[in-house]
Amino acid sequence: MIFPKGVWKGLCETCLDSAQKTHLIVDKNQTSCRKGRCALCGDKTGVFPVELQIPDFSKGVVKKEVNVCNRCLKAVDEAYIGYKREQIEQKHAHH
């Protein structure tokens, strides 16, 4: 399911969670990157592996590791925080 608000670049909630976890690991441990092309912005730079789940009609879901640059990981982290904030606000609005 793709969420129209709070999600960056059309990532579903599961993939957003995965990318955000990678951001936290990279941010905390200063994990070394490898050179490659970012799957989100297309820049050739230092990238980090992120596991995404891609819908597949015959298999259901296929897990695929893609390269994401640090700049996009930071943007994903911001989107993740905004998305979770939206969820909390909606929950409180219903009570």
Q: What is the pTM of this model?
A: 0.71
Work out the mean pLDDT of the chain and round it to a whole number. Answer: 79
* Tokens encoding 85: 């904030």
Residue extents of the structural domains in the chain = 13-90
- The b/e string for 50-70 (b: 16+ C-beta within 10 A; e otherwise) is bebeeeeeeeeeeeeebbbbb
The string of pLDDT tens digits covering residues 19-32 is 888 888 887 776 66
The string of pLDDT tens digits covering residues 33-47 is 789 998 888 889 999
